[in-house]
Structure 1
Amino acid sequence: MLSFVSKTYRWQGFPCTYRLSGEEGHTPIVFVHPVGVGLSGRFWDRCVSHWQSQGEGYSFYIPDLLGCGQSALPHIAYYPEDWAAQLHGFIASEIRQAVILVVQGALFPVAMELVYLDPQVVRAMILSGPPAAALVSENTDPTWQRVRWNLFDSPLGWGFYLYARQESFLRQFSINQLFAKPEDVDDEWLKMLAAGCADLESRHGVYSFLSGFWRRDYRQKMQQTGQPVFVVMGDQASSISRDGGAESPAKRLQFYTKTFPNAEGVVIAGRNVLPYESAPAFVEACQGFLRAQGL
C-alpha cells in the first residue's frame, strides 16, 4: 500500500498539490503524469507503490499539474511552457535540489521545456512511452492550434467532455488506445479516471492537450540536452494520433536514443501506459538505469 503525505504550495497565486512518498532528503524523483480525461498524479500510484516496496532510498514526489487533479483548475489554455514553469517553481520551492524526472507519454515536451528553462534542476530523465517521432519533429501551425482550442472551448467541447466522462467511453478508449490487454483495464483504473474528471473544470487541461499546443519540433532542444536519458517503450506501443503513423516501437526508440546525445533505452511488454499496465517491469528497468548512472 502506498504511503504518502499530501501537501499544497502556491504557484503564480494558484494553489497546487503534490504527494510525497518516502522521507525527504533522499534522492528526489518527480513523476509527471499524462494529461487526459480523468488523469492526474494518481496515474503513478501503482508504479510508485511497487517502487517503494523495493526499499530503495528515494523520495517520490507526485505533483498534480495545474488544471488536473487536486490542483487549481483555471479556465486557461495550457502550453508546455506553463506546466514546465510550474514544475520549476515546485522544485525550487518544495524540493530545493536537482531531481530525477520521470515523464509519461506526450508530456515529454513539458520535460524538454523544463530542461531548456533550467538545466540545473534535472539530473536525469526517464521517458515512458514518449510520442511518435513525427509528432515532435515538426512544428504545427499555431493558428490551427488556436482554432482547435476555440472549438473545444465552446458548447461543442462541453458536449464532448460530458460524453468522454462516461465509463463506457473511458473503458473502450483505454482498450483501443492505451492498454495491451483489455483485461488490464480494471475497476481501479476506471474509478481513478471517474474521480479525476468529476469536476468539469478539469476539461480545460484536456482541451489544451487535444489542441496540440505540445506538438512542435523538439529535435534541437533534444540535441542540446546534456543529462542522461532513459527511454522505456512498450512492445505494442502505438500512437493515438494518425500523424504518428505505423512506427514500430524499435524505430521510435531509435529516434530518441539517436537524437539525444546521452540516451539509452529498452523495450518491455506493454503498450502506452507502462507505469500502470507493466509496473514491475517498468520499475525494474528504471532501477537498472539509475544504478548504472550512480543515482
Structure 2
Amino acid sequence: MAGTTSAEQQLLLIHPIGVGLSSRFWDRFGACWQSGNNTAELLTPDLLGCGTAPCPARPLTPEEWAEPLIHLLRERNNGPAVLVSQGASLPIALAVAAKAPEMVSALVAISPPAWLVLKQEFPQRRARWLWRLLFGGLIGNLFYRYARRRKFLDAFSRKNLFAQPEAVDQEWLEMLNQGSRAMDTRWAVYSFLAGFWRRDWEPLLTGLKIPVQIIFGTKATGIGSSKNWDDLNERLSTYKEQLPNASISTIPGRNVLPYESTEECVNSVREWLAAL
C-alpha cells in the first residue's frame, strides 16, 4: 500500500550492521540534512544488537530487526515513513514493508547488494552451523576482540568501504571503536556474517507498489565473497532491468555514501523526494 510523500514526510534511516556500527552512522547525513531546507523528520533508531538497543545473544533475522522499527512507527502514529536503508540493511527495510505496508510510503536503498547476492538463497543449515561452531563460542569471542582493534577497522575500511583511503578519518574510527566496546554487540554482527539475512528477496523488492530510489557509488564494489558479482555497470544494468520504474543513479564514493559523500547523498534523496 503506497502512502503519500511530501516535504513533511518522515524518514526512517536503517543503519548497516557491522563491527561498531549503530545509528551514529547517520550523524553526518543528519547534520547535513538539518542544515538545509529539509523539513522531513529523521528517525534514527539503533537496530537490535547495536548501539544502545538490546543485544540478544542469539541469531537475528531481518524480521526481528524490523519489528522494533514497525513498533516505533506505530507508536509515533505520524503516518507512513520513507525507509532509507544502507547496504545490506535493505532486507530489513523489505521486511518492514512486507509486515507493515501501511507504514511505508517509499524506499531509498543506498549502496544495496549486488542483485545476485540479494536473491541467492544461503543454506540456513550452514548458517546455524557457522553460528554454533564458529561465532557462538570462544572462537567468536576472540575474533570479535581482534576485529574491533583500530588497526583492523582502519585496514578493512580502506580496503572495502571508502573510495579514498584518506577519507577513513579519526571520527569514523572512533565511532567504530566506541560502538564495539560492548562485547554483546557481536551477536548482531555474527547474525549478519553467518548469513541469517541471506535469502531470495527479489519477489518482495520487485513487488513493491511504492516509489523506489536506488543510489550507488561510482566506485561501488562488493565485499568479501560477493566481489566477483559486483561490476558497477552490470549492477546498474540489472537493477534497471529488474526495477524499471525505480529512480537509479550514482554519486561519487564507494560503499558508505551517507558518510563518505554526505552532501551528494543528502541532495540526491532530497531532490528525489521533492519530485514525487
With normalisation by structure 2, the TM-score equals 0.94
The alignment status of 1:263 with 2:268, answered yes or no, reads: no
- Structural mapping, 1:203-282, within 5 Å: 203-260=186-243, 262-282=245-265
1:81 partner amino acid: E
- CA distance 1:261–1:117, shift in 2 (3 Å): farther
Out of 99, 110, 117, the position equivalent to 2:81 is 99
Tell me the distance in 1 between the aligned counterparts of 2:79 and 2:209.
Answer: 18
Deviation at 1:239? Answer: 1.0
Equivalent of 2:104 in 95, 110, 122? 122
Equivalence for 1:132: 114
For 2:73, the aligned partner's letter is: I
Of structures 1 and 2, the one scoring higher in RCO (CA 8 A, sep 6+) is 2
Q: Deviations for 1:220-266, whole angstroms, at most 9, x for unmatched residues?
A: 11221111110110011111132342422232133233323531111
Equivalent in 253, 266, 274 of residue 283 of structure 1:
266
Matches within 5 A, 1:138-149: 138-149=120-131
1:225–1:260 CA contact under 8 A, matched in 2 = no
State the shift of 1:55 in Å.
Answer: 2.2
Letter aligned with residue 126 of structure 1: V
Stretches of structure 1 lacking an aligned partner (at least 5 in a row): 1-24
Higher fraction of helix: 2
State the AA in 2 paired with 1:120. Answer: E
Which amino acid letter does the alignment assign opposite residue 31 of structure 2? S
Task: Tell me which protein shows more strand as a share of its residues.
Answer: 1
Matched, 1:37 2:19: yes
The number of equivalent residue pairs is: 269
Aligned counterpart for 1:109 among listed residues 91, 112, 118: 91
Report the Cα distance in structure 2 between the residues aligned to 1:240 and 1:79, rounded to whole angstroms.
Answer: 20
Q: Distance in 2 between matches of 1:267 and 1:33?
A: 20
Q: Distance in 2 between matches of 1:157 and 1:236?
A: 32
* Distance in 2 (alpha carbons) for counterparts of 1:241 and 1:166: 19
Structure 2 equivalent of residue 69 of structure 1? 51
Match among 155, 165, 174 for residue 182 of structure 1: 165
Change in Cα spacing, 1:47 to 1:164, as seen in structure 2 (3 Å) is: same
Partners of 2:51 and 2:43 lie apart in 1 by 15
| Unaligned 5+ runs, structure 2 | 1-6
> How far 1:134 moved relative to its partner?
1.4
Q: Which deviations, in whole Å up to 9, do the C-alpha atoms of 1:103-155 show, x marking residues without a partner?
A: 00001111111111121111111111001111112211110011112211110
State yes or no: 1:193 paired with 2:176.
Answer: yes
The Cα RMSD (Å) is: 1.4
Contact persistence 2:218–2:250 (CA under 8 A): yes
Identity of matched residues, %: 39
